[in-house]
A and B are shown apart, each in its own frame.
Chain A
Amino acid sequence: MDSRSDSGAGPSGPTGPQTACAGPWWRARFILSGGGALAAVCLLVAAPLNAQGLPDPLTTTPGDPVRGEAIVTDPQHGLCTLCHEGPFPQVPFAGNLGPDLTGVGARRAVPELRQQIVDSRIGNPDTIMPPYYTTDGRERVGARWQGATMLRAQEVEDVVAYLASLTGDMP
């Protein structure tokens, strides 16, 4: 496993190898992301995989909705607005392949939002939404993305916190 930091070197996610916490790779990850991440991934792999989603946060630091908004609205980082419209007046051209995120925080509970971002295939195997926090079941991943998840654990929490805050109509 690599420990590159440019696009996030996350663990294998909820359905990944249970030994992830013990591997030497994880040490590098721990150093990169700081404390809390180690405990977080152990929580993650222990989380039940059911329709209720992932109730336990991936990190001990609560998600920051302001950082989450920056990730969601950056088409080169979160990529979210490539497919989702939403209450993002700063994004001139959002795509329409996924549902509009306006009010998503009122429609979906936090564990569901977290599950959807970590690996939306859990709820819908045919989903077009990329898995943001697992390396499971991926084929032919390009060299510079090998072993890396699309977001880091804390970034997932930030995005979840931001989406959970979207409870109203367009601002």
Chain B
Amino acid sequence: MRRAIVFTVAFLLPGLAWSDDRRTGYDDMNADLQALQDDPMNPATFWVLDGERLWSEPAGTTAQSCADCHGSAEDSMQGVAARYPSFDESSGTAVDLLGRIALCQSRHQQTAQPRDRSDPDRLALLAYVTHQSRGLPIMPDEDPRLAPARARGEALFSSRMGQLNLSCAQCHDDNAGGYLAAARIPQAHPTGYPQYRLEWETIGSLDRRLAGCMTGVRADPFAPGSPELVALELFLKSRAAGLTVEALPIRP
């Protein structure tokens, strides 16, 4: 079944090749951490519940809720997180799902201030919307206007950076499965975002993680939501096509 999905996606996305021994961050976690993710008492649940509440709560000067336009998220948002990032017509740029939620809030709810991307309410909405894609295969958006950003992400993935002069690919392609001190290096498939990271003791988005990676090699991280990070996400999602969107991910 999963193989069938993979072949379907491979057909839809010619030119995006991968080997089928891809592993996710979940696969690389030890049994205790997997058990925490699978436990109904998973702390990430709180953000999904908060997001569910916020979905129907009027906000901004228009006093509109997400539900006023989108109806039930369980219907309208199913599979949405699995295809993001997507192309935003009016700005002519690629946007990630968190950026889309922010655009929605400013355009339709006219929320007073453009809030920070780490705003807990926005992360809760991101968690809730992403939760509607749990178990679905990642299906990258085929819009050709995304191709330049995706190519830029691929180039960035192989660009050495920082005082340690390392690229993403050197660790996460060339040395995936190896150990950096005690930590097994994952294959960089973003199946589990937003995630409850034990290091953070809260939920966070992919761009927070990517910035953390960049700081790890002593580089100047790209800004949250920057075109560079959206480009990297586009590329990473294309590599992860066909892998399953994780619900309520836990990572160390």
- Note whether A and B contact each other (Cβ less than 8 A): yes
Residues of A within 8 A of B (CB): 7, 75, 79, 81-83, 92-97, 121, 128, 130-131, 137-143, 145, 148, 150
Residue of B170, B181, B221 touching A128 (CB-CB under 8 A): B170
Task: Mark contacts of B131-169 with chain A using CB atoms, 8 A cut-off: 1 yes-contact digit, 0 otherwise.
Answer: 000000000000000000000000000011111111000
On whether A140 and B179 interact (CB within 8 A), knowing A130-B165, A130-B166, A148-B163, the answer reads no
Residue of B163, B175, B180, B215 touching A150 (CB-CB under 8 A): B163
Q: Give the Cβ gap from B11 to chain A, nearest Cβ, in Å.
A: 34
On whether A140 and B178 interact (CB within 8 A), knowing A128-B170, A145-B162, the answer reads no
Once the chains bind, are B165 and A137 in contact (CB under 8 Å)? Answer: yes
**Chain A residue contacts of B70, Cβ below 8 A:** none
Once the chains bind, are A142 and B175 in contact (CB under 8 Å)? Answer: no
Q: Which residue of B lies closest to A138 (CB)?
A: B165
On whether A128 and B175 interact (CB within 8 A), knowing A83-B180, A145-B163, A148-B163, the answer reads yes
Complex Cα distance, B126 from A145, in Å, reads 34
Q: Beyond the given A131-B165, A137-B165, could you list 20 further A-B residue pairs with CB under 8 A, ordered by the A residue number?
A: A95-B178, A95-B179, A95-B181, A97-B178, A121-B165, A128-B171, A138-B162, A139-B161, A139-B162, A139-B219, A140-B161, A140-B162, A140-B220, A142-B215, A142-B220, A142-B221, A145-B162, A145-B163, A148-B163, A150-B163
Residue of B163, B170, B181 touching A82 (CB-CB under 8 A): B181
**Chain A residue contacts of B161, Cβ below 8 A:** 139-141
Q: Which residue of A lies closest to B163 (CB)?
A: A145
Q: Does B41 touch A at the CB level, under 8 Å? A: no
Number of interface residues of B (CB under 8 A): 24
Q: Does B174 touch A at the CB level, under 8 Å? A: yes
Q: Give the Cβ gap from A121 to chain B, nearest Cβ, in Å.
A: 8
Once the chains bind, are A82 and B180 in contact (CB under 8 Å)? Answer: yes
Q: Which of B161, B181, B214 has the most CB of A within 10 A?
A: B181
Secondary structure of the B contact surface, majority rule: loop
Q: Give the Cβ gap from B61 to chain A, nearest Cβ, in Å.
A: 39
Q: Does B218 touch A at the CB level, under 8 Å? A: yes
Once the chains bind, are B181 and A141 in contact (CB under 8 Å)? Answer: no
Q: Give the Cβ gap from B96 to chain A, nearest Cβ, in Å.
A: 21
Once the chains bind, are A97 and B162 in contact (CB under 8 Å)? Answer: no
Residue of B160, B166, B178, B218 touching A145 (CB-CB under 8 A): B218
**Chain A residue contacts of B180, Cβ below 8 A:** 82-83, 95, 97
Q: Give the Cβ gap from A136 to chain B, nearest Cβ, in Å.
A: 9
Complex Cα distance, B170 from A145, in Å, reads 21
Once the chains bind, are A142 and B178 in contact (CB under 8 Å)? Answer: no
Q: Give the Cβ gap from A124 to chain B, nearest Cβ, in Å.
A: 12
- The 9 closest A-B CB pairs, nearest first, are A93-B182, A145-B163, A130-B164, A140-B219, A145-B218, A140-B161, A95-B179, A95-B180, A142-B220
Once the chains bind, are A97 and B179 in contact (CB under 8 Å)? Answer: yes
Complex Cα distance, B162 from A7, in Å, reads 14
Once the chains bind, are B181 and A130 in contact (CB under 8 Å)? Answer: no
**Chain A residue contacts of B179, Cβ below 8 A:** 93, 95-97
Complex Cα distance, B170 from A67, in Å, reads 30
Q: Which of B161, B218, B221 has the most CB of A within 10 A?
A: B218
Q: Give the Cβ gap from B203 to chain A, nearest Cβ, in Å.
A: 25
Once the chains bind, are A141 and B166 in contact (CB under 8 Å)? Answer: no
